[in-house]
Amino acid sequence: MRVEEGHWVVEARDDRGRAYRFTGKSLVNAAGPAVLDLLARASAPPDHRMRLVRGSHIVVRRKFEHAYAYFFQLPDGRIFFAIPYERDFTLIGTTDQDHDGSLAEVRASDAEIAYLCEGASEYFRAPVAPADVVWTYSGVRPLIEDGSGRPEAATRGYRIDLDSDEGAPLLTIYGGKITSYRHVAEAAVDALADHVPAITGRRWTAGAALPGGDFPTDGAATIEAEYRRAHPFLPAATVDRIVKAYGTDARAWLGGAKDWDALGGEIAHGLSAAEVNWMMMREWARTTDDILWRRSKLGLLFGKEDVEKLAVLLDAKHPLPLPE
């Protein structure tokens, strides 16, 4: 990526080798843990040093029936949680481990799995063993290096820097949290406003619903009741998942369906061809992993044959349509 005649030019290839060339008046670097990699590709010097801290979770069969989370403290002073997860499971995590490896290979180490199992076993009546773990997942936190000794003590704050020396602004986001995403987004748009004439009004998102989040005042219950009434063939667990994943947006692909055929057929565990199509067209899903792990957690339920059935459906869609 480079600046040419006052514009950013980015050349990229997709997973099928197709080449693209994008141009823009400004570039926003919101690459999370890859923030410094992106700056290096743009030949721009970083304003902050980063500390990459991996957090891993384990998922086990449900350890308790109620809907509340537990908050554990270990002898080393660290805390972690056990949270009801996807109806039938319990999520336990997380760790704080400096991550020195590649960002393409982020996974829970045996030591992290053992640490979480031992920690949880201090509290639950029935111990948690590594053999009970049905799935793990990990992420890397991009934390601004503040000289803290212990990874869990490093700041979770964020910084936004704007470099407009070359006439084409480059805005870089360092750090941040999900909980502060609106503040980060507002600060980013405000910072760009003087450079991008298209940005006129400010802070319009404060009262805006997220996609599918325009619920009535009594929350999701009304939407859930609507879907149950309109599509009585859908199992309760599927309706629950659909409401949580899409909210009111699901109306667009559920339509007036009265059976699975109207949704292009059920692949397995309440996943229909119509839902897969929505994930591909509106949420940029491309692979079985995108669908089963990144857009849903149906991977916890899908067996090998179910995954193959989904793969056949995706193959039949090639060449994959571009998202809307």
Ligand X SMILES: Cc1cc2nc3c(=O)[nH]c(=O)nc-3n(C[C@H](O)[C@H](O)[C@H](O)COP(=O)(O)OP(=O)(O)OC[C@H]3O[C@@H](n4cnc5c(N)ncnc54)[C@H](O)[C@@H]3O)c2cc1C
Q: Which spans of this chain sit near ligand X (rule: CB under 6 A)?
A: 30-34, 38, 55, 94, 139-141, 173, 176-179
- Rounded to whole angstroms, how far apart are CA atoms 156 and 80? 16
Q: Pick the closer one to ligand X by CB: 27 or 292.
A: 27
Q: Pick the closer one to ligand X by CB: 130 or 139.
A: 139
Minimum distance of ligand X from residue 259's CB (angstroms): 36
- Please list the alpha-helical segments (H only) found in 19-164: 35-41, 110-121
Minimum distance of ligand X from residue 36's CB (angstroms): 10
Q: Pick the closer one to ligand X by CB: 33 or 84.
A: 33
Minimum distance of ligand X from residue 226's CB (angstroms): 31
Structural tokens at position 47 = 């304003």
Minimum distance of ligand X from residue 120's CB (angstroms): 17
- Rounded to whole angstroms, how far apart are CA atoms 27 and 192? 10
Q: Pick the closer one to ligand X by CB: 92 or 223.
A: 92
- Rounded to whole angstroms, how far apart are CA atoms 275 and 297? 14
CB of 137 within 8 A of CB of 120? no
Phi then psi dihedrals of residue 144, to 5 deg: -75, 130
Half-sphere exposure of residue 79: CA atoms within 13 angstroms, side-chain side: 6
| Chain position whose Cβ is nearest to ligand X | 32
Parallel, antiparallel, or unpaired for β 133-144 and 158-163? Answer: unpaired
Minimum distance of ligand X from residue 40's CB (angstroms): 10
Residue type, 245: A
Q: Pick the closer one to ligand X by CB: 102 or 179.
A: 179
CB of 295 within 8 A of CB of 289? no
Q: Pick the closer one to ligand X by CB: 143 or 242.
A: 143
Minimum distance of ligand X from residue 7's CB (angstroms): 18
